[in-house]
Chain A
Amino acid sequence: MLRKGIITVILIGFAVMLLQLFLSFNGNEDLNTTALHYAENGIEEVGAANLVTSVVVTYRGLDTLGEVTILFLTAAIIGLFLKLTREEKSEKREVRPTSEILQTAMKVLVPVIFLFGIYVFINGHLTPGGGFQGGAIIASGILLMFLADPNRKISHGLIAVIESISGISFVIIGILGIVLAGGFLDNHILPLGKFGTLLSAGAVPLIYIFVGLKVGSELSNIIYYLNQTQKEKK
């Protein structure tokens, strides 16, 4: 009873606070100064058709690097937590056979999902999407593979190699920006190209390809660890 009362009081407190915010919100008429700069100079400075991408990859590229690092840390901590002992590793896991539909659909869909994920991160500077979304789509393909066959072996070493190479390449591109252009993660190390085409916006597509590969392999790693530790004793 007391517990319920406290919860109600806390909820009402939050509701009053949020209502104040809601009532004091007056809507916007125009872009603020930061957004105005991005909107007016985004095409000349970055050359990406998707302004969100120019903010994420170039203007705020350092934050994206931090974000990728946070994801990497998450995957590493999960791997540490779910580490298996040797005895657990040798146990054979008994799973109910999955349905024919799932197995066949997996064979048809996984290549298409991978292709779509790659499309999303290569076109991140032109259309909605980008490295994080494309990486998540690729990881969903891996998840489908595990759903169809939980005992499937995927090459953990290959994932680790892809992840390390793309992470290092991301940082190297950033440092090349200092050497060849205006600063860390500056995209002018490559020619800007024609606005709105695939090979435009300098290094932005390259960076998003590496971000996509890195996020995809990190999320696949998380799924792999979670799948590996399902070996509960019966």
Chain B
Amino acid sequence: MKFLSPEYISMAAGFLVILIGIWGILANKNLIRMIIGFSLFDTGIHIVMVAISYLKDRTAPIIDETINTQEIAKQITDPVPQALVLTAIVIGLGVTALMLVYAMKLHKEKKSLDITKFNDLKW
């Protein structure tokens, strides 16, 4: 059964986390909960990206004495998606911090975190 191998399980988990994140963004009216939804969306994408780079029976791309230096390419997983996820985590942190600050500012204006109260631009 090919769907029971680690890459499929982690990929399915990642997609599930993405869906939970989208639900959190759409269904909640509280700003903080929406920000948590965005964070979950982010995390799900990271899980999927690492799952894609998984190669069976291989180790992390860190070369130490357990790796035979003659055949490195046959023993390690792809380092590029991991470097990409490292970047994505940092950018996600910055975006989350910015969203939290906006939420703080909005709360200062209206003393409420309910998104339906912010209807100044609605007609």
Q: Mark A206-233, 1 if CB is under 8 A from B, else 0.
A: 0000000001000100100110010010
Provide a sorted-by-A list of 10 A–B residue pairs whose CB atoms are within 8 angstroms: A18-B15, A22-B12, A28-B54, A39-B76, A42-B63, A51-B63, A70-B90, A74-B98, A132-B89, A232-B108
Q: Which partner residue on chain A sits nearest B64 by CB separation?
A: A49
Where the two chains meet, the residues of A that have a C-beta atom closer than 8 Å to any C-beta of B are 4, 7, 10-11, 14-15, 18-19, 21-22, 25, 27-32, 34-36, 38-40, 42-43, 49-52, 54-56, 60, 63-64, 67, 70-71, 73-74, 77-78, 81-82, 126-128, 130, 132, 136, 196, 215, 219, 222, 225-226, 229, 232
The answer to whether A60 and B73 touch (CB under 8 A), given A14-B22, A22-B12, is no
Contact check, B73 vs A7: say whether CB atoms are below 8 A apart.
no
Interface SS majority for chain B: helix
Q: Which partner residue on chain A sits nearest B51 by CB separation?
A: A25
Contact check, B19 vs A39: say whether CB atoms are below 8 A apart.
no
The answer to whether A49 and B90 touch (CB under 8 A), given A10-B22, A10-B26, A82-B101, is no
A25, B60: Cα distance in complex, Å: 21
Contact check, A11 vs B19: say whether CB atoms are below 8 A apart.
yes
Residues of B in contact (CB 8 Å), total 48
Where the two chains meet, the residues of B that have a C-beta atom closer than 8 Å to any C-beta of A are 2, 5, 7-8, 11-12, 15, 18-19, 22-23, 26-27, 52-56, 60-64, 69, 72-73, 76, 78-80, 82-83, 86-87, 89-91, 93-95, 97-98, 100-102, 104-105, 108
The answer to whether A74 and B26 touch (CB under 8 A), given A39-B76, A51-B79, is no
